[in-house]
A and B are shown apart, each in its own frame.
Chain A
Amino acid sequence: MSPAQKPRSASPEPVALHEHAEENLRYIRATMENATSFTGVSGRGYFLAGVSAIVAAWLAARQSTQAAWLLVWMLELLLAGGVALGMTAFKASRQGKPLWSSSGRKLLLAFIPAMTAGGVLTLALFLRNDTTLLPGIWLCLYGAAVMTAGVWSVRILPLMGALFLSAGSLVLLTPVPPDLMLGLSFGGLHIVFGILVWRHHGG
């Protein structure tokens, strides 16, 4: 039950008082549950991750081997992940909220499965010397991870996830240049949504 939906009966039939009291208690519980979404995601963290992704896309496009190309993106994953996590921890601490709150744990648990699948597919395709599908797979799985995890966080995150998923589908199904889409998505989307989160939910 959404807190915004005021569950009042329009029926002319009498409503027992204890039912009204029970409804009030359910309303309090639902509001408290909805209010525990994790708002500690850092807009500045996303912004910086986006900037680093644009640099990584530029660097990766200049590599001559698959291994070097993959190495650039793996280093970018570590760098961007570290920056985003560090900034999120800093923001949560500034808000007086624990990083591992109930909603923070749910967010992480929702994020991990799709990312793990992405890691396994990356390794498998690299061992087969075929990395051509990786950009689309990364974008799709990262989008799926963000959409799922975003349920426990600020409302615009699932939208960002959906856009990543769309970008991944484009890369997999059309001849659009993969490195360009990686730069536009991991770079551009993170920068845009980082600014939005920063403005509406703090840095």
Chain B
Amino acid sequence: MVAKSQMQEISEEAPPAMQVAGAHNSQEIGNNLDRLIHERTRLALVSALAANPVLSFNDLKSLLQMSDGNLSAHARKLEDAGYIACSKSFDGRLPRTEFRLTESGRSALQRYIAHMEALILAMKNL
């Protein structure tokens, strides 16, 4: 598992150039990086929900400028992981889908932020 370097973890979706600098450091920090949240769209989803108790599908779509399909796909992954909870209801005759961040999702975001901060510290201490 140690061979899974921090670079492999953090840069899975980063440009190749990012895989050059600092490649031999902070392996332990990166080992536990949450790939699910590391993806930018899902990171945005979780961050937006961390700032609001609840957001509707349309609020999120407008806020993050995402298409219906893209938002649904990423929200489904986070829901499957238990990071967000989805509830469906009706507002009059209009269907309404709302998302909330679960405790597990909030902890995951906190861990991710802690990882980023630790990574910054580790790299600056080189």
Contacts and interface: CB of A to CB of B under 8 A. Distances in A.
State whether these chains interact. Answer: yes
Interface of A: 2-4, 6, 8-18, 20-22, 24-25, 27-28, 31-37, 39, 95-97, 154-155, 199-203
A202 B65 contact: no
A63 B54 CA distance: 47
B58 A32 contact: no
Interface residues of B, number: 47
Contacts, number: 120
Given A3-B64, A34-B63, A155-B62, A18 B47 contact: no
A13 B14 CA distance: 13
B54 A96 contact: yes
A90 to B, nearest CB: 13
Contacts of B66: 4
9 contacts: A3-B65, A8-B15, A18-B122, A18-B123, A20-B18, A31-B47, A32-B47, A39-B59, A201-B58
Nearest to A29: B47
Given A35-B52, A97-B52, A15 B18 contact: yes
* Residue among B26, B40, B122 having the largest count of chain A Cβ atoms under 10 Å: B40
Contacts of B40: 6, 27
B17 A3 contact: no
A33 to B, nearest CB: 8
B43 interface: yes
A14 B65 contact: no
B113 interface: yes
Given A3-B48, A3-B63, A18 B22 contact: yes
Nearest to B66: A4
